[in-house]
A and B are shown apart, each in its own frame.
Chain A
């Protein structure tokens, strides 16, 4: 069994210092790895990344992250990445990492992803250069995600995104902004790449649960949606019922 903790959209900054750390104290007893689904900072400023890095330093489990659109706002995404990597966080963009877990392996492929919309109401690479560039960026990131997933050699593959790969988890958001919240190309990449679980954020007013067109699990872990420091997932054998191995230690006294 593989226990995955995940959260996105913490929009951290110095003003939030100390608010996450207490919730991570027992993480090592509850999860095998922690996934961060982008929008880690308020506007992508280095001091915000440093504040988050202090919360994550020494949590005791591997931490894998992607950046979100907010993390690019100050045009210092590389510095944000370096600061997080400085405390051991693996920051993915079109690449992957394999984490050994209890004699098994979980492979995580990640990208920020981008918008574009969903089947029946999506953009296309047509017309003005700006529109072509918008959709080409989305396609490029989806292609790189698919390649990263395809290249993974792991017992279980997980996709980590910021933007949504399906519309299911956007339920609650205004329909008009769906094209800015995700893209069907990401869902296709996930299905072709064989990810059994896709974690994303970005949709603060969306819903938690969805499926790709191919029937793979999608979970929106944007913190405003989950209302917790993280969600926990237990990846087990297909068709399993309640599995005692999926029980997690109580928080107190764990």
Chain B
């Protein structure tokens, strides 16, 4: 019985970059700052996206490019922003 060959670091790096590029090139996303970490058969996604729809779409695009990987979508969305800060930061300035 043989276990499947593990991709070497070069293969993983190329796969990661291809997937990152797909997120940037997809006209529905244009997403540059999602990080993809591949460990074993799991892909961890981190970073910020604007809406929940885009968050789901990021996972879909990654899944298309990484068949067989479990997608752990840890991206965060800022669709529901908290109330703006109650106070202003005071900056002393020379005039």
Contact = CB atoms under 8 A, between A and B. Distances in A.
Most A CB contacts (10 A, CB to CB) among B85, B91, B93 go to: B93
Nearest to A205: B33
Contacts, number: 111
B83 A234 contact: no
Contact of A246 (B81, B84, B87): B87
Interface of A: 3, 5, 10-13, 15-16, 19-20, 23, 30, 42-43, 70, 73, 155-156, 196-197, 204-205, 217, 219, 223-224, 227-240, 242-243, 246-248, 250-251
Interface of B is mostly: loop
Contacts of B92: 236-240
Interface of B: 27, 29-30, 32-33, 47-48, 50-51, 53-54, 78-95
Contacts of A237: 92-93, 95
A156 B33 contact: no
A224 B94 contact: no
Given A15-B54, A156-B95, 18 more contacts: A3-B88, A11-B30, A12-B50, A19-B51, A42-B29, A43-B30, A196-B91, A196-B94, A197-B93, A224-B78, A227-B81, A228-B83, A229-B84, A231-B85, A232-B85, A234-B88, A235-B91, A246-B88
